[in-house]
Amino acid sequence: AQSVTQLDSQVPVFEEAPVELRCNYSSSVSVYLFWYVQYPNQGLQLLLKYLSGSTLVESINGFEAEFNKSQTSFHLRKPSVHISDTAEYFCAVSDLGGSYIPTFGRGTSLIVHP
């Protein structure tokens, strides 16, 4: 069975500063990896995902995440955040060969200050 660890429950940053939200996973098989974002009073929305190929994946709003197999990590980064990026971010993993249901982390609250 897979598991996901999001070490930071809350990350406060100032607007236009860079940010990294950490995600580590454990699994005995190859995985698919996802980042979802939840804005206040909304459901989760897919931000980006890694299925195969290039280990660096990007979203349309400037976020990127890099799959690091040796470190079993999939950290999310943005070089310059905006107030509108304030939200809860969830990392999720699903096994290629096992359970198709993704396992979610507990979430990281990104708080962008002006």
Q: Quick check: 101 binds another protein (CB under 8 A)?
A: yes
Q: Is 110 within 8 Å of 11 (Cβ atoms)? A: yes
Per-residue mark of binding to another protein, 39-68 (x: CB under 8 A):
--xxxxxx--x-x-----------------
Q: One-letter amino acid identity for 76? A: L
Q: Quick check: 102 binds another protein (CB under 8 A)?
A: yes
> Stretches 12-20, 32-40, 59-67, 76-84: which one binds another protein (CB under 8 A)?
32-40
Q: Residues 6 or more apart from 21 whose CB is under 8 A from it?
A: 6, 8, 11, 75, 76, 77, 89, 91, 108, 110
Q: Which of 9, 54, 60, 114 binds another protein (CB under 8 A)?
A: 9
Q: Is 92 within 8 Å of 101 (Cβ atoms)? A: no
Q: Quick check: 107 binds another protein (CB under 8 A)?
A: yes
- The DSSP bridge pattern shows strands 87-95 and 31-38 to be antiparallel
Q: How far apart are CB 12 and another protein at their closest, in Å?
A: 16
Q: What is the token pair recorded at 23? A: 């995600």
Residue among 36 and 67 whose Cβ is closer to another protein: 36
| Size, binding site for another protein by CB under 8 A | 26
Q: Quick check: 25 binds another protein (CB under 8 A)?
A: no
